[in-house]
Amino acid sequence: MTLEAIVTALVAHYGWPGLAERIPVRCFSHDPSVTSSLKFLRKTPWARDKVEGLYLFMQRDRQRTAARTKPGR
């Protein structure tokens, strides 16, 4: 999975304000865009780690929610 796909999925799920709240970096809170975020994240390993961790959390949360709402449970 590409970093661009991860950022795009997080923005689709949380929105820019929600993403900035969870990972307080300027590229998410001030004039955010996927392009500016990718530039920053590619140069900043700690921020990229946080973004990847949040993406994994989001995926696990989606799976848990899907498992709870399955018919027959």
pLDDT (average), residues 21-49: 97
pLDDT band for 68, please (50, 70, 90 cuts).
confident
Residue 70 scores a pLDDT above 80: no
Under CATH, domain 3-68 is a member of which superfamily? SAP domain (1.10.720.30)
Domain coordinates of the chain in residue numbers? 3-68
Query: Global pTM?
Result: 0.89
For residue 36, the model assigns a pLDDT of: 96
For residue 10, the model assigns a pLDDT of: 98
Count other C-beta atoms under 10 Å from residue 41's C-beta. Answer: 24
Pairwise CA distance, residues 16 & 26, whole Å: 11
Residue 72 scores a pLDDT above 70: no
CA atoms within 13 A on the CB side of 15: 3
Residue 53 scores a pLDDT above 70: yes
Pairwise CA distance, residues 12 & 69, whole Å: 21
pLDDT (average), residues 36-49: 97
Q: Give me 5's structure tokens.
A: 């796909």
Count other C-beta atoms under 10 Å from residue 11's C-beta. Answer: 17
